[in-house]
Amino acid sequence: MNFDLDDDQRDIAAGARDFFRGQASPAAARAALEGGRLEPGRKALADIGFLGITVPESAGGAGRTLLDLAVVAEQGGAVLAAPSLVTAARAAVLLSAEPELAAQLADGSTAFAVLDGSPDGSAPSVDAADATTFLALDGGDLVVGEGEAVPGRPLDATRGLASVRLTSRRVLVPDAGELWARARQVAAVVMAAEDLGGADRCVQLGVDYAQEREAFGRRIGSYQAVKHMLVDAWVGVEQLRSLVWWAAWAADSAPAELPLAASAAKACAAAVFDEAAGTLIQVHGGIGFTWEHDAHLFWRRAKVDRLLLGDEAEHLDAVARLAVAGALGR
Amino acid sequence: MDFDDSPDEAAYRARVRELLEQHSGDLLRLAPGQENVDAGTHEDALRRTQRVLADAGLVGVTWPREYGGQGGTLVQQSIVSQELARARVPVLINHIGIGMCGPTVITHGSQDQRDRYLARLLRADDVWCQLFSEPASGSDLAALRTTAVRDGDDWVVNGQKVWTTLAHVADHGILLTRTDPERPKHAGLTMFVVDMHAPGVTVRPLRQMGGQADFNEVFFDDVRIPDGERLGEPGEGWRVALTTLMNERVAIGGAGGSIGLPVEAFVQHARDRLPTLGPERQALARQAIGRAVVAALGARYTGYRRLTVLSQGGIPGPESSAGKLAGTAAARLVADAGVRLLGDDAVYAATGDGDDRWQRTQSWLPGIAIAGGTDQVLRNIIGERVLGLPPEPRNDKTAPFSGGRP
């Protein structure tokens, strides 16, 4: 039994934290709502190698584990970085037999997005708004093609959501249902990891403010009504961290556990990030409700992410079905 | 990252299984569907079971060898716990002694006390209880009023304790008393080992809301305790008690164990009951099942993280409080979903064929959210010691206890 990050993964996390703090911020997420560019952007993520973490070395990637990628994704989530490593991880699974395309994913030369729903008019899909090449499931086959992206008015601009209609398509893998399902589970794990970073940051910011702000003659963090909200959010973050690590580990080392673990992590993320972001606003009072404050940017991400790649109810249902069917191994 | 046994751990597990098989005829076993046995009615069998296990080297796994333990790791302890559960052996009768009283004697007792008590505790020759809470001091433990007054080589104890698990079968207890009411509340306390059979000790069982009688009230009327039974210095009782309390939170859900029925039993129950519900009910039930399983797995894997830190030499910290908090919340979701799956029987205390596992679990979980630190006290501990938030202002920490009372 050893359920902790190793020294290498801790180093990866520290490096990713430095990179993301330098290259992205909630301020950039706010600017993106008013037409600003996404930070750090695809090129910077490709240059530092984050788009190819799980792409095989033979295809120009780092050939590392999903757990390594999840550790990086957490740091990106903490500053609301975009585009999402969800797309990189999901596309890497789908392109596992396509080294040329995988190389373009890893080096950032092609802007990929993976479509949820029908290729003839997809559901709002992550990073689709400014992608040029789309991966989709078309009648059971994995296809790649170009398309027309129609973004809605963004609630969280960093997710780059758009509905897409493919204008060309080429079959990459016929009868790709299993591959597609696995890629979606991997995507759910990485989104849960980004949400973990966001939720953790919300708790930190809330604690920092409760340490400073005074009301009725003392710091508000001393009131149990405030303290206990922050503690509940923190306890939730710790449960989520455990499920994210487990799910990422399962993707690498125990594939049979991935469906259950991925749904558990995604369902937990939906609830935990929403609670943490709501707590962040509440602890700040009126200032937390302003456009200038960062709190709403985390709240926006939480409100959007909880519905993407399957909402909480869908994943709770999956957990129940899988558990009852015998998926609880250990 | 690795959830499998290492070669050493696998060998240890095999050895534990072998020992349990070898002694299987001498061990009390739970019947199918039974989760625990009453200590009062099964006292002899429970003591015998622990003695057999102790002689086989399966009790006090993490205790130092010099005190009769095995000098093993927390991971080994968790392997033994898993294998005992797998073999359907009930919780050891002396679990409070092993988890809380013994470690306190090891840390704060004299060599003489360690020699006299620890080996007997491990073999359940003596059963131990923990005499802390009082009618007027629960969460505010340091406000306790049971007094111990020095008289020659003895101390004379008067007062009342309450919620004392196992006192009705116990031979010894660790007893927190006030020895100096003129000092501030935390500074005037002293801990003792008390002989539960001494003249002046009266134990009265209390019936819990679920109907069971696991805990008691205990009265002390001029009970004499020799000074040699003191644990730590006079006035040091609070520091001694903190050792006990920290071990308690690790014991209750702090390191990988689960609170309430294991999630596997819950899932089996769901497998049996889901088909008895109509399709719409099934969909609703799956939401509750999913939520309970996610919470239980979150608590379990967070426990694995803590176990990893502890097994690499970390010391139990305030994070253990989070384990109890999350474990209790998960156990409530599991029990609630378990009861709901019973359909019409959910409003009764047992099913038509007499199965009351889920209703019984439901009725003792409110106690778990109180015992060993209420959910609210745990949130204060986490808020102040993990998140670093300021404490509530207090005016009861510096004034003499005698003058601090209304």
Show the tokens assigned to B392: 């509530």
Q: Which residue has the higher pLDDT, A98 or B402?
A: A98
What residues pair up with B178 in beta bridges, in sequence order?
B147, B189
Instruction: Check whether B257 has a pLDDT greater than 70.
Output: no
Taking each continuous run of H as one helix and of E as one strand, the counts in chain B are 13, 8
Sequence ranges of the domains in chain A: 181-324
Q: Do residues B67 and B28 lie in contact, with contact meaning Cβ atoms separated by under 8 Å?
A: no
**Is the Cβ pair B3, A1 closer than 8 Å?**
yes
Give the position of tokens 């239980």.
B296
Listed in order, the ranges of chain B carrying CATH 2.40.110.10 are: 128-235
Phi, psi of B172 (to 5 degrees): -140, 160
CB burial readout A202-235, b (16+ within 10 A) else e = bbbbbbebbeeeeeeeebbbbbbebbbbbbbbbb
In eight-state DSSP terms, residue B235 is T
Task: Print pLDDT tens along chain A (330 aa).
Answer: 899 999 999 999 999 999 999 999 999 999 999 999 999 999 999 999 999 999 999 999 999 999 999 999 999 999 999 999 999 999 999 999 999 999 999 999 999 999 999 999 999 999 999 999 999 999 999 999 999 999 999 999 999 999 999 999 999 999 999 999 999 999 999 999 999 999 999 999 999 999 999 999 999 999 999 999 999 999 999 999 999 999 999 999 999 999 999 999 999 999 999 999 999 999 999 999 999 999 999 999 999 999 999 999 999 999 999 999 998 864
CA-CA distance, B130 to B242, in Å (whole number)? 13
**Which pLDDT score is estimated for B250?**
66
CA-CA distance, B190 to B159, in Å (whole number)? 14
CA-CA distance, B211 to B195, in Å (whole number)? 28
Architecture of domain B252-386: Up-down Bundle (1.20)
Query: Minimal Cα distance from B82: which residue of A?
Result: A330
Q: Do residues B75 and A1 lie in contact, with contact meaning Cβ atoms separated by under 8 Å?
A: yes
**Which pLDDT score is estimated for B290?**
98
Q: Which residues of A touch B305 (CB under 8 A)?
A: 3-4, 241-242, 245
**Which pLDDT score is estimated for A329?**
63
Show the tokens assigned to B342: 């019973």
The CA-based dihedral angle spanning residues B374, B327, B316, A237, taken in that order and rounded to the nearest 10 degrees: -100
Q: Which residues of A touch B393 (CB under 8 A)?
A: 218, 222
Instruction: Check whether B253 has a pLDDT greater than 80.
Output: no
**Which pLDDT score is estimated for B248?**
76
The candidate with the shortest Cα–Cα distance to B367, out of B252, B255, B233, is B252
Question: Which amino acid does the sequence have at B303?
Answer: G
Show the tokens assigned to B354: 């007499």
CA-CA distance, A28 to A18, in Å (whole number)? 16
CA distances from B270 to A94, B205, B292 (A): 35, 36, 11
CA-CA distance, A297 to A284, in Å (whole number)? 14
CA-CA distance, A46 to A55, in Å (whole number)? 12
Q: Which residue has the higher pLDDT, A106 or B74?
A: A106
Listed in order, the ranges of chain B carrying CATH 1.20.140.10 are: 252-386
Please tell me whether the peptide bond between A83 and the residue prior to it is cis, using omega within 30 degrees of 0.
yes
pLDDT tens-digit map of B354-378 = 999 999 999 989 999 998 889 999 9
Q: Do residues B25 and B65 lie in contact, with contact meaning Cβ atoms separated by under 8 Å?
A: no
The CA-based dihedral angle spanning residues A228, A231, A233, A238, taken in that order and rounded to the nearest 10 degrees: -160
Instruction: Write out residues 292-321 of B within 8 Å (CB-CB) of A.
Output: 293-295, 297-299, 301-302, 304-305, 307-309, 311
B308: three-class secondary structure by DSSP: helix
B34: three-class secondary structure by DSSP: coil
Please tell me whether the peptide bond between B64 and the residue prior to it is cis, using omega within 30 degrees of 0.
no
Q: Distance from CA of residue B394 to its chain's centroid?
A: 29
In chain A, DSSP assigns E strands to 112-114, 133-138, 141-145, 147-150, 163-166, 170-173, 214-215, 218-219
Question: Number of residue pairs across A and B with CB atoms under 8 Å?
Answer: 158
**Which pLDDT score is estimated for B74?**
83
**Which pLDDT score is estimated for A141?**
98
**Which pLDDT score is estimated for B255?**
46
Least CB-CB distance to B326: which of A5, A211, A235?
A: A235
3-state percent helix, strand, coil for chain A, nearest multiple of 5: 60, 10, 30
Q: Which residues of A touch B376 (CB under 8 A)?
A: 224, 228
**Is the Cβ pair A1, B75 closer than 8 Å?**
yes
Query: Minimal Cα distance from B312: which residue of A?
Result: A2
Interface test with chain A among B267, B293, B377, by most A beta carbons within 10 Å: B293
Q: Do residues A234 and B387 lie in contact, with contact meaning Cβ atoms separated by under 8 Å?
A: yes
The candidate with the shortest Cα–Cα distance to A87, out of A55, A121, A63, A51, is A51
Characterise B286 by phi-psi region: left (phi > 0), alpha (psi -120 to 50), beta (else). Answer: alpha
Instruction: Check whether B254 has a pLDDT greater than 70.
Output: no
- The distance in angstroms from the start CA to the end CA of chain A is 12
| B392 touching chain A per CB within 8 A | yes
Query: Minimal Cα distance from A217: which residue of B?
Result: B393
CA distances from A153 to A86, A158, B134, B214, B380 (A): 21, 12, 61, 61, 42
**Is the Cβ pair B386, A234 closer than 8 Å?**
yes
CATH 1.20.140.10 fits A181-324, yes or no: yes
Q: Which residues of B are catalytic?
A: 248
**Is the Cβ pair A221, B389 closer than 8 Å?**
yes
CA-CA distance, A155 to A164, in Å (whole number)? 18
What's the number of CA atoms in the CB half-sphere (13 Å) around residue B92?
Answer: 26
| B377 touching chain A per CB within 8 A | no
Query: Minimal Cα distance from B393: which residue of A?
Result: A222
**Which pLDDT score is estimated for A118?**
97
Show the tokens assigned to A180: 């597609």
Question: Which strands sit side by side in the sheet containing A170-173, from one edge to the other?
Answer: A112-114, A133-138, A141-145, A170-173
Listed in order, the ranges of chain B carrying CATH 1.10.540.10 are: 7-93
**Is the Cβ pair A231, B387 closer than 8 Å?**
yes
**Which pLDDT score is estimated for B249?**
66
Show the tokens assigned to A76: 């990106």
Q: Are strands B172-178 and B128-131 parallel, antiparallel or unpaired?
A: parallel
ipTM: 0.97
| B81 touching chain A per CB within 8 A | no
- The whole-angstrom distance between B369's CA and the closest CA on chain A is 15
How many residues appear in chain A?
A: 330
| B136 touching chain A per CB within 8 A | no
Instruction: Write out residues 175-194 of B within 8 Å (CB-CB) of A.
Output: none
For range B144-167, the mean pLDDT: 97
- The whole-angstrom distance between A56's CA and the closest CA on chain B is 21
**Which pLDDT score is estimated for B252?**
57
CATH topology of domain B7-93: Butyryl-Coa Dehydrogenase, subunit A; domain 1 (1.10.540)
Characterise B200 by phi-psi region: left (phi > 0), alpha (psi -120 to 50), beta (else). Answer: left
Mean pLDDT is lowest, of A141-145, B167-171, B298-302, B305-309, for B305-309
What's the number of CA atoms in the CB half-sphere (13 Å) around residue B239?
Answer: 10
Question: Which amino acid does the sequence have at B158?
Answer: N
- The whole-angstrom distance between B3's CA and the closest CA on chain A is 5
CA distances from B162 to A88, B13, B144, B201, B245 (A): 59, 39, 11, 13, 16
- The whole-angstrom distance between B155's CA and the closest CA on chain A is 39
| B166 touching chain A per CB within 8 A | no
Show the tokens assigned to B144: 């306790």
Instruction: Check whether B406 has a pLDDT greater than 60.
Output: no
Q: Which residues of A touch B9 (CB under 8 A)?
A: 1
Q: Which residues of B touch A224 (CB under 8 A)?
A: 376, 379-380, 383, 392
Interface test with chain A among B387, B394, B395, by most A beta carbons within 10 Å: B387
| B31 touching chain A per CB within 8 A | no
Characterise B15 by phi-psi region: left (phi > 0), alpha (psi -120 to 50), beta (else). Answer: alpha
Query: Minimal Cα distance from B271: which residue of A?
Result: A324
**Which pLDDT score is estimated for B372?**
83
CA-CA distance, B164 to B173, in Å (whole number)? 10
Interface test with chain A among B76, B294, B312, by most A beta carbons within 10 Å: B294
The dotted CATH code for B128-235 is 2.40.110.10
**Is the Cβ pair A219, B286 closer than 8 Å?**
no
Instruction: Give kind and range of the element (H or E) at residue A264.
Output: helix A258-284
Q: Distance from CA of residue B9 to its chain's centroid?
A: 26
Least CB-CB distance to A320: which of B75, B289, B304?
A: B289
Phi, psi of B215 (to 5 degrees): -125, 175
